Amino acid sequence: MTIFNLYIFDRNGTCLYYTEWNRRNQSGISKEEEFKLMYGMILSIKSFCSRLSPTDLKDGFLSYRTSKYKLHFYETASGLKFILNTDINAGNMRDNIQQIYSNIYVENVIKNPECKLGQQITSELFQTKLDDYIRSLPQFATKLS
Amino acid sequence: MSRQIGRSVDPKKVSGELFTLTYGALVSQLIKDYENEDDVNKQLDKMGYNIGVRLIEDFLARSNVGRCHDFRETADVISKVGFKMFLGITPVVTNWSPAGDEFSLLLENNPLTDFVELPDGHSNLSYSNIMCGVLRGALEMVQLDVDVRFEQDQLKGDNITEIRLKFIKRLEDAVPVGED
């Protein structure tokens, strides 16, 4: 199992943070273009889900899986969006993303007055903490099984 | 790990009295800086707003509450979870307007105003105005545009401190150009 990459978008669609670990295939377009496409797709899936749902949906769209990868989506009530791509064997990553939000993002970005809201995160502390956390996850193990 | 060793007192917590006194010093400095008390109120509101837009993330991360379905639920969460978490009090939610878009929070004791007496000649000052800003900022981040103001204040001789919240509109998520 392994983890490919992570996107963090704010409520305005700005990509606050992007990082990748074992990503072997690049999309061949600029990162900005890729962020836009990713955000647009998430927004469309979200609105599609809520339109199709017969009942009032609570969390809505959580993840999807293709034959090659699995995309996990987590959105906070404040509109912050976390998108984590893993391989298809990773189970439910929701708790892990929640951990990233409450223990890493809030502690190191929100509570850091040097980090301006709505702008790209450049804090090294945040980057290190996030990297350590992701690498410590059992899902990260890169051994091919 | 190091934080867990010798954790008799949570290093992130400060005494409530220190907090109250610091806030008092802040307000009195603002009064010195801006002669006009309306400007002081405005500054406090602005500071509160900037606190609120960050505080909401801490609140969401720690409380794990999801999106509220109506304004009544929001009111309940503000009082029972929000105020409880950050100020240790639970204001009473009351005085709903018939349309259900306006309510009051009644504070029996306001931790910001312990030890505070307003000298004469400060009738325009809204001493705890920072709270209005915090509420406004925090709610704006969860797509609620609200108007917040002090209706009654024990500091000015009223029996109770009352904060009035009025729902204005729901803010929509920004959609990038080219989407519907």
In angstroms, the separation between the Cα of residue B115 and the nearest Cα of chain A is 29
Contacts of residue A124, Cβ cutoff 8 Å, sequence gap at least 6:
none
Q: How many angstroms from the chain centroid is the CA of residue B86?
A: 9
Q: A3-136 domain in CATH 3.30.450.70? A: yes
Q: Which two tokens stand for residue A110?
A: 């929100």
Report chain B residues whose CB lies below 8 A from the CB of A79: 141-143, 173
pLDDT the model gives residue B8: 60
CA distance B106 to B150: 10
| Element at B161 (helix H, strand E) | strand B161-170
CA distance, residue A60 to nearest chain B CA (Å): 12
Does B176 contact A36 at a Cβ distance shorter than 8 Å? yes
Rounded-to-5 percentages of helix, strand, coil across chain A: 40, 20, 45
Q: What is the pLDDT of residues B33-51, one digit of tens each?
A: 998 889 999 999 999 999 9
* Alpha carbons B176 and A40: distance in angstroms, whole number: 8
Q: Do B179 and A36 touch (CB under 8 A)?
A: no
How far apart CA A54 and CA A52 sit, in angstroms, is: 6
Task: Say what the pLDDT of residue B2 is.
Answer: 44
Q: What is the pLDDT of residues A67-76, one digit of tens each?
A: 989 999 999 9
Minimum distance, in Å, between the CA of residue B142 and any CA atom of chain A: 5
Distances in Å between the Cα of B162 and the Cα atoms of A33, A57, A59, B75, B100 are 50, 35, 35, 14, 17
A58, A105, A106: residue with CB nearest B66: A58
Quick one: closest CA in B to A41, which residue?
A: B179
Percent of chain A with pLDDT over 70: 97
Q: Is B53 on the interface with A (CB under 8 A)?
A: yes
Chain A interface residues (partner B, CB cutoff 8 A): 11-13, 36, 39-40, 43-44, 56, 58-59, 76-80, 101-103, 105-106, 110-111, 117
Smallest Cα distance from A66 to chain B, Å = 25
DSSP B157: T
Phi/psi of residue B34, each to 5°? Answer: -115, 70
pLDDT of chain B, 180 residues: tens digit per residue = 444 444 466 777 778 889 999 999 999 999 999 988 899 999 999 999 999 999 999 999 999 888 888 899 999 999 999 999 999 999 999 999 999 999 999 998 888 988 888 888 888 899 999 999 999 999 999 999 999 999 999 988 889 999 999 999 988 766 665 544
User: B89 at the A interface (CB within 8 A)?
Assistant: no
pLDDT of B85-94, one tens digit each?
A: 999 999 999 9
| Residues composing chain A | 145
In this predicted structure, what is the pLDDT of residue A53? Answer: 82
Q: Which residue, A67, A83, A85, A87, is CA-closest to A75?
A: A83
pLDDT value at position B175? 64
Q: A95, exposed or middle or buried, with CB in 10 Å at 0-12, 13-18, 19+?
A: exposed
Which two tokens mark B10?
Answer: 């949570």
The candidate with the shortest Cα–Cα distance to B52, out of B172, B133, B163, B122, is B133
Phi, psi of B18 (to 5 degrees): -60, -40
Global ipTM:
0.82
Residues of chain A where predicted confidence (pLDDT) is lower than 50: 144-145
Residue A65 CA to residue A88 CA, distance in Å, equals 7
How far is the C-alpha of A82 from the C-alpha of A18, rounded, in Å? 10
B168: enclosing H helix or E strand: strand B161-170
The one-letter amino acid code at A29 reads I
Distance from CA of A1 to the nearest CA of B (A): 28
The whole-model pTM stands at: 0.85
Between CA B85 and CA B105 the distance in angstroms is 16
Say whether B61 and A102 touch across the interface (CB within 8 A): yes
